[in-house]
Structure 1
């Protein structure tokens, strides 16, 4: 049997996940968003953290509760684990229903982010485009969510996003065509989500809007973490000043409940 962990139980899970360098994990364990599940509320030995599409596992993978947790999935799942034992468990249980690919993790050092260079990027906004902070009106625009469902989806509501999140958008003909926002939040910063309407790509918009978000975070003493889903995102991160730390395995699990 598995149990949902409240904030007090989540505090017990920090040692279990300490080897997994993820701000998304922190957003859950610190109580900002997401859910956590464990095998035992008093002395958990295996745990699952879910924030949106991201699912993390730690602890002992060789228990019946671990198997139960490996079936406790959202409709669309990107699973991340830290050990070969967990990888083997995922590959065995979900054989035939997984796709393994690489994500890219960057060093978390604000000193690598050059404010002057970021401001230079912002100044290159093409004619006809407008850079704006995302307010309630923009956050409610259907066009924003058509570009990415994850700009505000981890928050309880648009008002919750406005109160706790942050983001910038680029408009063309008064319609938002590119944005960078807080996918998730943790005590010391955010995890960045950035996307561009396909019709407006290759204009440097993602660089500009990301620079605005990064500068805003730095000005407020928040760290804007970047974790790349593909090589294009990794290249953009490095252009912005992030230094690649490592590639790591991620599993897309196509599990039908």
Structure 2
């Protein structure tokens, strides 16, 4: 049987997830957002943490509770684990509807982010476009939500996002064509979510909007963490100054299969 974790259980899960280098799982472990499920509320041996589409597993994969957790996943999720035993468990338990692909981890070192360099990228905004900090008016625009539903979805509301999160958008004739926001937050900073309208790509807009968000974070003593979902995201991160750390396995699981 599995149980939804309370705050006391949450604090006890920190050592269990120490092998997973993700600020997204930290956002749950530090009490900012997300939920978790465990096999025992007093002495958990296996745990599932869910933050948006990201699901993290830790503990003993060879238990009935682990099997139950793996068979009761949210729809369309990305699963990240910290051991080969968990990888084998996922691949054996979910033979259908599982796709393994690489993501790219970057060093979390603020010294790599040179303000002058990032400011120079921000200055490359093409004529006719403008960069604005995300406020309620921008957050309520259909063009903002259409770019990525994950810009604010981990927060309780738009107002909660505006209070606890951060975001910048590039607008063209009043339409949001690129934006970068805090997908999630943790004690020391944010995890960046970024998207650009396909009709406005190859103009450097993603780099500009990311630059605005990164500079805001640095100015406020926060670290703008970047985890690259693909090679294009990695290339953009490196252009901004981030340094590649390692590739790691991620599982996309379609629960309908």
TM-score, with structure 1 as normaliser: 0.99
Please list, as runs of the form range in 1=range in 2, the aligned pairs for 1:136-175 lying within 5 A after superposition.
136-175=136-175
Q: Is the contact between residue 3 and residue 37 of structure 1 (CA under 8 Å) also seen in structure 2?
A: yes
1:233-248 to structure 2, matched below 5 A, reads 233-248=233-248
For the pair 1:45 / 2:75, whether they are aligned, the reply is no
Q: Which residue matches 1:25?
A: 25
SS of 1:44's equivalent in the other structure is coil
What is the CA deviation profile of residues 33-69 of structure 1, one whole-angstrom value per residue up to 9, with x for unaligned ones?
1101111111111001000000000000000000111
Question: Is the Cα–Cα contact under 8 Å of residues 75 and 255 in structure 2 kept in the other structure?
Answer: yes
Q: Which residue of 2 aligns with 1:93?
A: 93
CA distance in structure 2 between the aligned counterparts of 1:192 and 1:67, rounded to whole angstroms: 32
Judge which range, 107-116 or 63-72, deviates more: 63-72
The residue correspondences of 1:101-250 to structure 2 (distance < 5 A) are 101-250=101-250
Give CA deviations for 1:200-245 in whole Å, capped at 9, x if unaligned. 0000000000011001001100000000000000000011111010
- The offset of 1:97, in angstroms, is 1.2
Q: Calculate the TM-score normalised by the size of structure 2.
A: 0.99
SS at match of 1:61: coil
The SS at the match of 2:99 is strand
Query: Alignment length, in residue pairs?
Result: 257
Number of the residue aligned with 2:14: 14
For residues 9-50 of structure 1, the C-alpha deviation after alignment (integer angstroms, 9 at most, x for no partner) is: 100000000111110011011111110111111111100100
RMSD value, Cα: 0.8
1:7 and 1:29 in contact (8 A); partners too: no
Structure 1 CA distance for aligned equivalents of residues 140 and 9 of structure 2: 35
Which runs of structure 1 show a deviation greater than 3 angstroms over 4 or more consecutive aligned residues? none
Q: Give the SS at the match of 2:248.
A: strand
Asked if the contact 1:154/1:183 (under 8 Å) is kept, the reply is yes
Q: State the alpha-carbon separation in 2 of the partners of residues 106 and 10 from structure 1.
A: 26
Cα drift, residue 190 of structure 1: 0.3
Where structure 1 has 5 or more consecutive residues not aligned to the other structure, the ranges are none
